[in-house]
Structure 1
Amino acid sequence: MKATFIYRQSMVNNEKRAGDVFSVFPRFLDTPGLIEQNFRLLFGEATANKFLEKWATNLKTKVITESHGLVPTTELLDLTRNAESTAEIENGWDSDMSAILLLLHLLPPSAQGRKRPGKVSACQAVEHLIRFIKAGTSVQQHLDNISQSSQPYLLAQGPARSSIYTFFIVIDKYALPCKATGSVGALDELFKAHYVFGLGLTLSKN
Structure 2
Amino acid sequence: MRKLMVNILVAHMIETEGTSDREVIMQKMRTTFEYRQHLIHDPEKSTTILSVFPRFLDTKGLILQDFTLLFGSESASRLFERWPTVFKAKVIRLAETLTSTPLLKRLRSSAKEKREEQDSPEWDSDLSSFLLLLHLFSPQASGRKKPHKISISQAVDHVVVFQKACRSIQEHLEAEENRQPYILATGSSKEAISQFFIKVDKKLIPCQESSSLAAIDELFKVHFVFSISYDLPLKNMYTFLQTTIYGIDVGTTSESPRVKELRAKLLNDV
For normalisation by structure 2, the TM-score amounts to 0.72
1:114 Cα offset (Å): 2.2
Provide structure 1 residue ranges, at least 5 long, that are not aligned to the other structure. none
In structure 2, the CA distance between the partners of 1:92 and 1:117, relative to structure 1 (3 Å rule), is same
**Are the counterparts in 2 of residues 134 and 157 from structure 1 also a CA contact under 8 Å?**
yes
SS of the aligned residue for 1:120 comes to coil
Q: Say yes or no: does 1:102 pair with 2:112.
A: no
8 Å contact 1:119–1:205 — kept in the other structure? Answer: no
- SS of aligned partner of 2:110: helix
Q: Which amino acid aligns with 1:188?
A: D
Aligned to 1:190: 219
Q: Are the structure 2 counterparts of residues 116 and 102 from structure 1 closer, same or farther at C-alpha, using a change threshold of 3 Å?
A: farther
Instruction: Tell me the amino acid that sits aligned with residue 142 of structure 1.
Output: H
Q: Which residue of 1 aligns with 2:179?
A: 150
Q: Which moved more, 1:18-27 or 1:105-114?
A: 105-114
Deviation of the 1:105 alpha carbon: 0.6
- C-alpha contact 1:51 1:188 (8 A) present in aligned 2: yes
Which of 77, 95, 98 is 2:105 aligned to?
77
User: What's 2:122 paired with?
Assistant: 92
2:249 counterpart residue number: none
Structure 2: which 5+ runs fail to align?
1-28, 238-270
Q: Percent identity?
A: 45
* 188-197 or 54-63, which deviates more: 54-63
Whole-Å separation in 2 of the counterparts to 1:116 and 1:169: 29
Higher helix share: 2
Deviations 1:48-98 (A, max 9, x none): 001111112121111101101111111111110111016586421111111
- Where do 1:47-86 residues align within 5 Å? 47-85=75-113
Number of residue pairs aligned between Structure 1 and Structure 2: 205
Q: Which amino acid aligns with 2:129?
A: A
Root-mean-square deviation (CA, aligned residues, Å) is 1.9
Deviations 1:172-206 (A, max 9, x none): 11111001201111010010000000001232479
* Contact persistence 2:139–2:155 (CA under 8 A): no
